[in-house]
Chain A
Amino acid sequence: MFIGKIRRKRQPIARYNQQIAYLFLFPSLAVFIVFIIYPIGFSLWSTFTNWNLIQSAKYVGWANYIRLCNDERFWNAVYNTIVYTIGVVPVGTALSLLLAVALNQNIKGTKFFRTVIFLPVVASTAIIAIVWTFLFDPQIGLFGYYLSKIGITMGAWLREPDRAMLAIIIVSIWKNVGFNMVIFLAGLQGIPYSLYEAARVDGANRLQMFRYITLPQLRPTTVFVVVMSVLSSFQVFDQIYVMTRGGPLYRTETLVQYIYHHGFTTFQMSYGATVAMFLLVVILALTILQLRLFDRPVD
């Protein structure tokens, strides 16, 4: 009786509060619908058409998806994207963790090094890519020049099918390591110092402390870094567009490159959108999988 009375009284207030909430949500919700939901819906619709900016779109059923399955260049792009991700994520994560641990100490100069390592993160990827292209250039580049002074000839990394992806991976790791390092640094600050003191009392050495305290305590941070790195790796574009345009011989052509190719070179918008839908599903699946795998509480 009593409870019912309160409920009856509260309901209109709750509804009123909800309405207020929607009012406050409206601006961002509107932006979300106009710039996220509508484009995704439109893209999805266009994957069932032959929309190419020239003729008016006609319904073609599953034709784009069937073409996708038989498209060698598409599977090549999937392969390249995976190679890139495998190249960037483990090394990049480990390196940023090491740097974070190294720079988390009270030694002179750590602030300087943190700044230096973080600098590429705030620089524009396109500009960084131009600089690295210049560095890698065997005819006019700096690496080639200095290496030739000591008698080493450097090949044309970005022009060799077998090494171009490696060059891109190096640049990407260099570019992003600072961001991940800062996240790890924040994680490290959050570990209670008492844990280390207790371990020291128990006679643990530094390696054991790292293995049994730092790593497990950093689990949520690591999950965040890995998930974000994988997601951004699957969407890599700028550095490849500037440095190789997907070449040589399509060896650095990743999924987003391929989407772009169909969007802006051949103008086969509907097929580009089909590739984008594939990417969307893969990223969604990966995110769910990763969150499930890593979503265990810290011991």
Chain B
Amino acid sequence: MRNRRLMLLMAVALVFLLAGSAFAKVKLTFWNGFTGPDRPVVEALVAQFNEENPDIEIEMDIMPWDTFMQKLLPSYIVGQGPDIAGLGAELLPRLVDAGVLAPIDDVFTETNLTREMLAPFAVDAATYKGHLYGTPMSNYALLMYYNIDHFTAAGLAPEAPTNWDEWLEAAIKLSNPPQQYGFVMPTKQAPAVWHLLMWSNGGGILGDNGEVLIDSAESKEAVKFWADAVLKHEISPIGLTGPETDKVFQTGKASMHIVGPWMTTGFTEAGLNYDVAPIPEGPVTRATVGGVTSMAISKQAGEDPVKRQAVYRFLEFWNSEEAQIKWALGANFPPNRIDIADNPEILAHPWVPKFTAGLAYARGHLVGTPHASEIESDIYDTAIEYILLGRKSVDDALNEAGQKLRDLLK
């Protein structure tokens, strides 16, 4: 008899236990591509959130960005996508058109976040067809990295150039191929260095209203200027991908390099004596590429009020003052919160204030079009590759690119 009562008690306890864990905990899946030195910072913040919110559990899956992008849309189509996706804002339009994301226009009324406290450019990049689809996970600007030792050895003042003429002159002076290249430039699969050069001369790939600019006189002039520098003065090796350019700079074989804040850790660990500086001003303007990783909610999670509430709590946490200071100091990224830029800890950081300053003249690369990845790989990269490999003139390559772009957007 006693045994039976005990068993009953245990069974009841078990039921409660199971029910408790099943009902109280909202499980959220979260995918992103922060595989670099920033990974531990992301992991620490997610762990902190899980600890502070016992009723929510975020299961995070970090994978390389290219795997992530190839997996995300197909996963959503078969209903297996993550509740929260931390993805490049340029990918949002395609996913929105596919109907797999939920708009979050009410995030500023449902949470403590306000539009004003976030980097405006990061919020704009996540806005498509009049709706907001994400709050920023990270934002950055590309800046100029330069090797101070190379500058000193070449008899130059250890300061980055400030305009194109100075830039080209320094690049030529610093080049001694194949031992050393003045300014390592990517050819493909890289941050959009050539795009920012087009912008600096008043050109670009697509204008604000979707007009094709890649074959404009301004774009051609900019590309000619730098392609000549590569082909005639050998200021850069040819055919490199983004990671390859990073390695060239990291091994002390290049004097100048344009890349984002994520490389600071690697370059410092490699023992390079370097600094970062603003992108030199172009003939028309100063421009750089700004990147935004947005946190978007899947349509499934967005339609489930419990999950939606849980996701909003996480978005709020991620862009809280405390989390953003941790993020900035740990990952060397500018904080998403513009209202904490003058936090003393952030101001004292060697890199963060410089990258924050870069955001002032940053623009989004191929944001707001559902064809971003095709334009990137089949039009922009291809044109630059034809030019740098000497197989097509700048005029021919960019005219073709313009034609392809118009066909694609039709």
Contact = CB atoms under 8 A, between A and B. Distances in A.
B251 A247 contact: no
Interface of B: 70, 73-74, 77, 94, 97-98, 178, 187-189, 237-240, 244, 247-248, 251, 253, 370, 373-374, 377-378, 382, 385-386, 389, 391
B239 A140 contact: no
A247 B94 contact: no
Given A159-B238, A160-B239, A265-B374, A248 B178 contact: no
B389 A249 contact: yes
Interface of A: 53-54, 137-140, 148, 153, 156, 158-161, 245, 247-249, 261, 264-267
A247 B385 CA distance: 9
Contacts of B247: 139-140
A264 B68 CA distance: 11
Contacts of B73: 53, 267
A267 B240 CA distance: 26
Contacts of A247: 188, 239, 385
B98 A53 contact: yes
Of A139, A161, A249, the most chain B CB neighbours within 10 A belong to A139
B239 A248 contact: yes
Given A54-B97, A160-B239, A249-B391, 17 more contacts: A53-B98, A54-B94, A54-B98, A138-B178, A139-B248, A139-B253, A140-B253, A156-B238, A159-B238, A245-B189, A247-B385, A248-B187, A249-B385, A249-B386, A264-B74, A265-B377, A266-B373
A139 B386 contact: no
A224 to B, nearest CB: 35
Nearest to A144: B178
A266 B374 CA distance: 6
Contact of A153 (B178, B238, B248): B178
28 contacts: A53-B73, A53-B77, A53-B98, A54-B97, A54-B370, A139-B237, A139-B247, A139-B251, A139-B253, A140-B253, A148-B178, A153-B178, A156-B238, A159-B239, A159-B240, A160-B389, A161-B389, A247-B239, A247-B385, A249-B382, A249-B386, A264-B70, A264-B74, A265-B377, A266-B373, A266-B374, A267-B73, A267-B94
A139 B70 contact: no
A156 B239 contact: yes
A150 to B, nearest CB: 15
B385 A138 contact: no
B221 to A, nearest CB: 24
B178 A265 contact: no
Contacts of B385: 247-249
Contacts of A245: 189
A265 B391 contact: no
Contact of A138 (B187, B188, B189, B237): B237
B310 to A, nearest CB: 27
Nearest to A54: B98
B80 to A, nearest CB: 13
Nearest to B254: A139
Contacts of B253: 139-140
A265 to B, nearest CB: 5
Contacts of A148: 178
A1 B287 CA distance: 98
Given A53-B77, A264-B70, A137 B244 contact: yes
Nearest to B381: A247
Nearest to B250: A140
A80 to B, nearest CB: 16
